[in-house]
Amino acid sequence: MDHSARQYGIEVAPTTVKRSPRRTAKIMMSAGIGHFIEWFDFGLYGTLAAIIASNFFVSADPATALLKSFAVFGSGFLMRPLGGLFFGSMGDRLGRRKVLVTVIVIT
């Protein structure tokens, strides 16, 4: 059974966009840099978790301090999608540039 948009009388605009190779390279480079910075933050925190645990979560048991450090790491990792949903919908309504500036100022 064919359930295409044309069957229901809906006209769909073509989704392919012609971009110059230079523009595509710029987009890919920007996305790559953003991805690197995003994961560098989590990688650095994960690598330094033992040092952070001993300095910020003082406890008689070092394993407990390390677990507390990883709990903070995990909560940040889990909150990221919720922030994306919240600020993503705001970006759709108010404009992405305004919301991006707001998020940068907040953090």
5-17: pLDDT as tens digits = 556 666 666 667 7
Residue 40 has pLDDT above 80, yes or no: yes
pLDDT at 10: 67
Q: Are 58 and 65 in contact (CB under 8 A)?
A: yes
Which H helix or E strand runs over 106?
A: helix 96-106
**What is the rounded average pLDDT for all residues in the chain?**
84
15-37: pLDDT as tens digits = 677 878 899 999 899 999 988 98
44-55: pLDDT as tens digits = 888 898 898 989
